[in-house]
Structure 1
């Protein structure tokens, strides 16, 4: 969630808003440190710190603080989830509640601009005598983007979104369903199709459409570590894109929609074209997770999106993952043609 832009919008609309942040967690907790919730004076809210009693209490306390005059303040609470709230998580969280009024609009606007430009990190000193957190943008922070950490009275936070670049080839029914499924997820989608008028009139904000006659060449613009997913209208075009993607040897994932027979055929053709066995093994085909047999586009999209999330988390954590961890099960549930 791009919290600073939403907070800026809330200030412009309501004159004030509250931000509840989990700045530290110990033991079992409903969300990770860095989870944030924005609360409006009228009781509306966006984001989540995990739901349940913790979130309900945070919303109620934020509304109480928002009703005060002047609309400013900072409150940091240490909450034992089991003894104090009766939640089964059993851990402890540090919850920061901040009130932002119109007098802080310039500060929020500056952070919103930084957030729009890309991920960034801040550092602030926690003080019992201050009624606000004064965040300084830092280059040397090691906290994860979207996270938070307290160390000896210093709060470090990571804002913005780190999205995996995904180059998606093909704007058919499955491609369209997948773009919608990926809309709220941490992917920056470049959607490529060589056909004119192939894309819908409206696409999600994290998607960029590219109509390019030489579709395989679009991979030249893909960053190292990008995911590549191929589901065009043409097997010959699929083969050309897969060949280029595997030959580049710089993508974290190369997926091809299709059945076991399509994989076998493409493996033979790729081998004849000079792609080695190791390269062919990196081709994920069929795609998606096992156990889902439906061929409805929306169902395939849900399966593929789940698999992409698994692979993205594995890649970010440098956890080894084989090219197609679900291959044996997937071969029993072919999708595509």
Structure 2
């Protein structure tokens, strides 16, 4: 969502009209899950994907019509039986796609997506609410609302003046428990409105400790699959912009105190790939004190046993060490730096998806 709202904001800044296409419901097997989005520009070109194939082509054509007619629509697709006999998408499921035109001249739309993009880029958390009803649309004014933690709401929902006071007190809980979906707004007034809820969160960050040959390959892949990237090493000849052009940040520091005073947060993925056992131990001893989503360390079972043994002697619990992913990566018998990178990033994707 962070990447997507940023993309929408960039297109609106370029004065490009567009239509948002979002999978709002999926049952059975389908190429993408609920929440997958793409945008369709006025010339028919697309950015993002909802799965490719005939489904995406049909949505692309219908989105262009929605943009011309200034209409929101809810499309239903069956990916089974005779409905897909002429296509390659024999998935066996059903998909609902919500189409919503957004005009670059609409100041309300520009304000909403600029605020959402800024929120995502700065590491904030928010919830974007949009009525999920088909019908005419001239402007996003009164039909889109961005609620964010510790910030003033942007936009509004016509006819639902109580929505801010009802949702804001539970916003953090809602973001965690229902980050995406269509939910009825049930207010004291007795009104109900089917509304699309979309959590706006910053992309999670991968921290690579060690800037050697494996990290070079991991860096390429983590950016490709939607993570932010921080690269760290104690050698500026290795940790620099010439080697890691895609990095969001580069740290040159001593391993012994690299995380001193830092709180990387719950969406941090710490990947330990230093050049030596002692450096790995130094970073791991600090990494396990973070409230990170993922901590992984490269190396053999023998190396892990030696490092774990030293940390146990220092008072670290076995329960804490059991949470570390080591040896790192999915077990695909990887050998080359490129293969090892694939196995590591596959594991990161798995954890991000709740595996």
TM-fit CA distance, 1:285: 2.7
TM-fit CA distance, 1:214: 4.9
TM-fit CA distance, 1:304: 0.6
Match of 1:195 in 2: 235
Unaligned runs of 5+ in 2: 148-167, 185-191
TM-fit CA distance, 1:293: 3.3
Match of 2:64 in 1: 63
The 1:161/1:180 distance shift into structure 2, 3 A limit, reads farther
The 1:29/1:234 distance shift into structure 2, 3 A limit, reads closer
Q: Is the 8 A contact 1:232 1:238 kept in 2?
A: yes
TM-fit CA distance, 1:277: 3.4
Cα deviation per residue 1:11-59 (whole Å; 9 max; x = unaligned)?
4446422221222334443322222111123332111112222111011
Alignment of 1:223 with 2:270, yes or no, is no
Match of 2:285 in 1: 243
Match of 1:327 in 2: none
Match of 2:21 in 1: 20
2: CA distance, partners of 1:265 / 1:249? 22
Alignment of 1:121 with 2:162, yes or no, is no
Query: Which region of structure 1 is more displaced relative to structure 2, 1-10 or 16-25?
Result: 1-10
Give the total of aligned pairs: 310
Match of 2:328 in 1: 287
Q: Is the 8 A contact 2:9 2:117 kept in 1?
A: no
Cα deviation per residue 1:110-161 (whole Å; 9 max; x = unaligned)?
3233233134212233445542561122444636787332436422221434
Match of 1:9 in 2: 10
Secondary structure, counterpart of 2:75 in structure 1 = strand
2: CA distance, partners of 1:52 / 1:7? 23
The 1:129/1:38 distance shift into structure 2, 3 A limit, reads closer
Query: Which region of structure 1 is more displaced relative to structure 2, 44-53 or 73-82?
Result: 73-82
Alignment of 1:148 with 2:173, yes or no, is no
2: CA distance, partners of 1:268 / 1:65? 63
Query: Which region of structure 1 is more displaced relative to structure 2, 237-246 or 1-10?
Result: 1-10
Secondary structure, counterpart of 1:62 in structure 2 = helix
Query: Which region of structure 1 is more displaced relative to structure 2, 181-190 or 137-146?
Result: 137-146
Q: Is the 8 A contact 1:22 1:148 kept in 2?
A: no
Match of 2:302 in 1: 261
Match of 1:88 in 2: 90
Match of 2:210 in 1: 170
Alignment of 1:137 with 2:158, yes or no, is no
1:208 to 240, 249, 259: 249
Q: Is the 8 A contact 1:28 1:92 kept in 2?
A: yes
Match of 1:304 in 2: 344
Relative to the length of structure 2, the TM-score reads: 0.75
Cα deviation per residue 1:290-309 (whole Å; 9 max; x = unaligned)?
13232x21211110111122
2: CA distance, partners of 1:75 / 1:282? 45
Match of 1:233 in 2: 275
Match of 1:42 in 2: 43
Unaligned runs of 5+ in 1: 320-337
Cα deviation per residue 1:191-240 (whole Å; 9 max; x = unaligned)?
22122232242546663211113543425313354332222123322222
Secondary structure, counterpart of 2:331 in structure 1 = coil
Q: Is the 8 A contact 1:167 1:228 kept in 2?
A: yes
1: CA distance, partners of 2:293 / 2:78? 41
1: CA distance, partners of 2:253 / 2:137? 54
Secondary structure, counterpart of 1:232 in structure 2 = coil
Relative to the length of structure 1, the TM-score reads: 0.78
1:272 to 313, 322, 326: 313
Match of 1:111 in 2: 113
